[in-house]
Structures are given as C-alpha cells and as structure tokens.
Structure 1
Amino acid sequence: MRNLITDVEGISVGQAEDAGSVTGVSVIVPDCPALGAVCVAGGGPGTRESDVLAAGRLVFDSVDAICLSGGSAFGLAAADGVMAGLKAQGRGFALVPRPGVPATPIVPAAILYDLANGGNKDWGDTAPYARLGRQAFDAAGESFVLGPAGAGYGAAAGLAPGGTGSASIVTHDGLTVGALAAVNSFGSVRMPGSAAFWAWPFEISGEFGGARPEPGFAFDPEDWGAAKADPSPRENTTLACIAIDAAVTHDELQRIAQMALAGMARAIRPVFAPTDGDVIFVISTRKREAGGSRPLAIARLGELAASTLARAIARGVYESERQEGRP
C-alpha cells in the first residue's frame, strides 16, 4: 500500500510542472476505459467534457483519463496533450472503428486558478498546458510526488500553501478506494487558532502530522481561520478525482460522487463558495464485485470516498508545508 490513488488496481498518475510559470498538471489514467461521473459544487467552475459523464450520454463508460490543471481556462488545453498521448497508444472511443479514422480519447478535465501566484505568465501565443498535459501523461505510473506538484504546484489553500494530496483505503473484503486532490481553496484546511486540520478525525497513522485540537477547543462560527482575506471569482478551487475498483452502475457512481462532496466539506471551511470552482470526478475500474445489499454497498463506498478525499486534501497541504520547512 502506497496510500495513493494508484493503490486502486489499474490506475496510474502522471504529473508535470513548469517552474517558471509556477503551474502544473496531474493526469489520472485507468488502464482500460472506466466508468465516470462528476459533481460540480463550486460557484465558479472551469471544466471540459464534464457533460459527457451525465446520465444518458454515449461515452460515460469510456473514460480514458481525467486531467486536472492549473492555469484557469488556459489550463483546459492540458487535455489536448493527454489526448495526443492516448491517440498514440490507439486509445479512444469509436462508434464504428474504420481504417484511417482515429478513435477519440475521452478526457474530462477541470482547472484551478493560479495565474496570480507570481509566476511568469508571459507565454506569447502558446500557453504551456498542452505540453504539460503530454508530459504528465507520459510520466504516468504507480508512484508520484505529493505537495507542490502537478495541478497543485502553484496553488494556495487559504493562507497556507496548497498542493496535490492523495490517500487510499482497502476494506476488509478487498475493495479499494483512492483519492487525489489539487487544493487551491478559498477556505482554510485548519481549525481557527489550532494546528489541527479540519480532517483530523479521519487521519490514519499520522499521515498529515497527527495534530489534534486542545481539549475543550471551541471557535466562533464566524471565524474562518486562515482563509484567503480577499477571494476573487474563479480564483479558489479544489479539484479531486476518486477511483474505486467496485463494479457499479452509472447511477450508483453518480451517487458516490455526490456523497464524496462531504469529503471537501470535512476538510475545508468554507467550501463550495461563489468564488470556488470545486469539482469531483469519480471513476470505477469495475474490477471487483461490490457485494452485499446494493443500497448499503453504495452508501459504504460513498462514505469511504468522502473520508478518503478529506484525508487527501489535508495531506496535500501538509506535504507542501513540510517541504517548505514549516512547523
């Protein structure tokens, strides 16, 4: 177990960064077309191909990759690079395969805003995102860096450094749930006046430092702690991808995605604000039977998705702070 989303069999992750522009891309790649769903919760999202994951669409069970990127709307071009890599491997959807007609890779994507983080954004006519998307795809594997890496490379979580986090859990009967998050939130991930993360009740084995609130800790409901002092529209976003190996229907996967939103609410305060672009993708590799009573099985997977996402969010910020040398 790596405690990463890649603990889900068949999932790889690749990341790429541009140090000069202070931005990056994360790509989640299943080894076979996956079932996909999405929940858009923030008031200012930026997405691509998210509509194809809705009920009744043609290709919701043919997801070839999920792309998360910095760069605001410029970053949506990262999916172009991912598509190029998939095309080179012959992957994609074709209703009727024909010689000389390429299949179309299905790559839902979402972006966060890192344009005002001090990096050099003077790209001229060509932004770096298609290049970064291809680099991230080519780098995909089972291990990847947390903290200031990938889509979270230039991010900020409230007044703390943001970053890319991941976590996983395996159930007693062998199902695996993994999460990856790029944290660029308006809200704070820590309790006001405390070193404890909001997600502390879900922490496993000290994975994000083990800080706990003091006995009797209380806070003013109007105190948001270290949230950003001056949020601007579309500038504050947490992007996430959940992967599961349980075989579920599309409707069931959509319910899991909706339940997974609780993971963001457990880890960030405030969340889903008008200035946020929060998006969660959920994909299933369908490699294992879910087992048990169907409604209870889906409730179980949704709860595990939420708690695992909360852990991934805290890990992303914790790893960024640790690598910066913060206490």
Structure 2
Amino acid sequence: MRDMGVRVGHWTGEHTGCTVLLFEEAVLASGEVRGGAPASREIELLDPLRSNTGVDAVLLTGGSAFGLAAADGVMQWLAERGRGVPTPGGTVPIVPTLGLYDLDGTGNVPAAAQGYEACDAAMAPFEPALDGPVGAGRGATVGQWRGVTLPSGLRTATVSAGPVTVTALAAVNAFGEPGPLDRGLLRPEGFAAGGFGRNTTIGVVVTNARLDKVECALVAQGAHDGLAKAISPVHTRMDGDAFIAAATGALPASVDVVRALAVEAVAEAVGDAA
C-alpha cells in the first residue's frame, strides 16, 4: 500500500493484535458502522457533517473495547513527530479506531505500548504480511452462527479500473462466514450458536482517487456491500461490522466507479477467508 502513501504495521501477540495504517499526510476519510455491537473510537468525526478535514492514521485492533486504548500509543507516536491538528496546547493526532472481539479470558489485550510498536513496525523498510493471523486478525474466527469456530485472519485485495485503484484491508472476525447462506441451518427461534460469539469484521478501503468526505462515505457504504456479498449471515446483532474509506490521491475519478471497486475489493478480500 506504500504506492498510495500508506504504511502498514502490526503488533501481533499470542491471541490478539493490532494493525495501524499511517498516512504520509492527513487524508480525507469517512466511515460506516452496520453491525449491532461495534467497538470504536473517533468514528463520529468521520461523518461528513463534522468539521474534521483529515485523519493521520487508522487503527484496527483486537481486544474489544479494551483494545481501543492502543490508539493512545498511535497518537503518542504521531504527536512526537508533529502530526495532527494544531491547537494552542499542541497538535492532536486524529486516529479513528475500530475494535473486534477476540477476548480469551487472559486479560491480554493491545494497549498503548502495542499501538506505538505497530507504528514503529510500519516504518520498517519492507512491507509486512497483509494476509493471515497477524495484527488485528491474530485472534479472528468465523462460523459461530452455526455453532463452530473456524480460524480466520487479516485479508487484503486490490482491484483497479485503469489508473484508479482501491485496496481493501479487513480483519475478518464474523459471526457468519464466507460463502452462501445455508438456509437449512436457520431456525425461527434464533441461531444454533445461541448467545455472544467472537465477532465483528472491521476494515479500511483506500483509493488513489481524489474524493471529498461525502464521497468517502459512499465508498464506505460500498465496502459494506462487498461484505454482504462475501459473508452469510452478515451484519448481525452479534457483529460490530465497520469500515473506513480513505482517499489518498489526486487522481480524478467518478465516485460510482470507486464505490464499485470497493465492493469488489472487499468481497474478494473477505471471500478469501474461507
């Protein structure tokens, strides 16, 4: 993703982790939450009605709501480098953060130190692995809707139309699973798995096109459309599915084209989790 001005870094623990996307300069971004049980931080400012005009990084993290504290380390790392919104008291880095549920009862969750470490890792001379049980995808699983737990992880895909490119990066931790819905497993009284599972698919789509904040919101909607193509059942009350869309480039492009690419990129990335 470095060709689009994005550096990616992970901290990977035994059962959890976090993944940071550092932008070379603040970029326009928006997002959308469709799942019923989200864990997030600084998402409201992505609304096109809010005054924010750029984000410095995006963090995807395990640890459920506890893992949101990893964003403190990302903010510290950026502030030390003068990144953020200037204020009389110093710069304030803008780091929207999405969390997924991978708690294992040990109390080990990403914290500020791990967010900081992920930023350091993003500055390594090589691009890290973007697929598999790494970073925010370390503890990801799928399939609880039918009473099983299948390993998953972080997934990525890039699609293009001419010079316009969209890359999707997702931590696939869904209550459902990739593939078509087996309707025979649905019961009127509810899912066979019953209660709360290890759930939520979170991700980022990045394009080299020039978009405004409203258009980024439309692309984030497209990311969810891609998720709906790949996961069944999707956006359940047990999930906190959320996507952020960021535009890093100056390439003119129709938002409808970028949104269509986002749909395909997310569907391709998440579908590979099967």
Fold conserved between structures, TM > 0.5: yes
CA distance in 1, matches of 2:43, 2:197: 17
Larger Cα Rg: Structure 1 or Structure 2? 1
1:314–1:144 CA distance, 2 compared to 1 (3 A): farther
Corresponding residue to 1:76 among 46, 68, 79: 68
Corresponding position of 2:79: 87
The DSSP-based 3-state class of the residue aligned with 2:251 is: strand
Corresponding position of 1:12: 7
Shift of 1:131: 1.5
Query: RMSD of the TM alignment (CA)?
Result: 2.0
CA distance in 2, matches of 1:284, 1:128: 27
TM-score, normalised to structure 2's length?
0.89
Q: Does 1:106 align with 2:89?
A: no
Q: After superposition, give the CA deviation of every residue in 1:13-55 in whole Å (9 maximum; x if it has no partner).
A: 1111122xx1000111111101010110000001100011112
Q: After superposition, give the CA deviation of every residue in 1:66-92 in whole Å (9 maximum; x if it has no partner).
A: 001000111000111111111111100
Corresponding position of 2:264: 307
CA distance in 2, matches of 1:48, 1:128: 14
Q: Write out aligned runs for 1:147-158 (5 A).
A: 147-158=132-143
Corresponding position of 1:214: none
Q: Does 1:221 align with 2:183?
A: yes
**2:132 counterpart letter in structure 1:** G
CA distance in 2, matches of 1:138, 1:9: 19
Corresponding residue to 2:200 among 233, 237, 240: 237
Corresponding position of 1:161: 151
Corresponding position of 1:186: 175
Q: Equivalent pairs: percent with the same residue?
A: 38
List alignment gaps of at least 5 residues for structure 2: 144-148
The DSSP-based 3-state class of the residue aligned with 1:104 is: coil
Q: After superposition, give the CA deviation of every residue in 1:259-311 in whole Å (9 maximum; x if it has no partner).
A: 22111001110010011100000011133122xxxxxx211111100110111
CA distance in 1, matches of 2:18, 2:159: 24
The DSSP-based 3-state class of the residue aligned with 1:237 is: coil
CA distance in 1, matches of 2:59, 2:166: 19
Corresponding position of 2:146: none
CA distance in 2, matches of 1:143, 1:129: 23
Aligned positions, number: 262
1:286–1:162 CA distance, 2 compared to 1 (3 A): same
Corresponding residue to 1:171 among 161, 167, 188: 161
1:185–1:86 CA distance, 2 compared to 1 (3 A): same
Corresponding position of 1:255: 218
**1:184 counterpart letter in structure 2:** N
TM-score, normalised to structure 1's length?
0.75
